[in-house]
Amino acid sequence: MANFKDAGHLLRMAAVFAVGIALFLVARSIFVPKSFGQYGHYRGAALAEVASKPVMFAGHGACEGCHTDVYDAKSKGVHAHVACEACHGPLAKHADDPTALQPPKMDVAVLCVRCHEAGLAKPKTFPQVVSAEHSGGVVCDTCHQPHSPRIGDATTASAEKPSGGSK
């Protein structure tokens, strides 16, 4: 068995280790974030941080309140299930304060072909055209009303031009 007199240095080394472990435990109590472990092995506060990011797309529900005429026209046409912001872009800021942000003008030529340019991989039943051959160089909204684009569908007069607010 170790003679304590001759094993003194081992005890000193053990003390160094003990101090190290103690310092580590103190560091743990100081530095581990308070909400850690609340729901699992992660910072519980992170959930609220992710959930509080700003919303950029208002969602289709936000538009109908003011733009009822457009909504009515669209809901009767083939674009009924296309969200407003799919074409008009993120407009949560506009929905919060309509005068603060005016939605940008749409570049119809680019916008329409994004979906409707003919492609081999597109479902066969999806309406698609080869734009270069389709209209003889004429821009899409010359013949197609974007909110209710099928030619021959009934459209209301006020839906001819997108309105800038409630009437």
Write the DSSP string, 70-138: HHHHHHHSTTTTS-HHHHH---HHHHH-TTT-PPPPP-HHHHHHHHHB--TTS-TTS--B-HHHHSTT-
Q: Which H helix or E strand runs over 61? A: helix 60-64
Task: Quote the least distance from Cβ 27 to other proteins, whole Å.
Answer: 7
Least Cα distance to 107 among 82, 143, 141 occurs for 141
- Minimum CB–partner distance for residue 161 and other proteins (Å): 18
Both tokens assigned to 121? 């991989």
How many residues form the binding site for other proteins (CB under 8 A)? 64
Binding residue (CB under 8 A) for other proteins from 56, 101, 138, 143: 56
The token duo for 21 is: 């472990």
Residue 113 token pair: 């072909």
Q: Does 114 bind other proteins (CB under 8 A)?
A: yes
Using CB under 8 A as the binding rule, whether residue 164 contacts other proteins is answered as no
Structure tokens at 29: 């109590």
- Sites for other proteins among residues 83-112 (CB under 8 A): 83, 85-86, 89-90
User: Is 24 a binder of other proteins (CB under 8 A)?
Assistant: yes
Nearer to other proteins, 1 or 157 (CB): 1
Q: What are the residues binding other proteins (CB under 8 A)?
A: 2-3, 5-10, 12-13, 16-17, 20, 24, 27-28, 31-33, 36, 39-43, 46-47, 49-57, 59-62, 64-66, 68, 79, 81-83, 85-86, 89-90, 114-115, 117, 119-123, 126, 128, 166-167
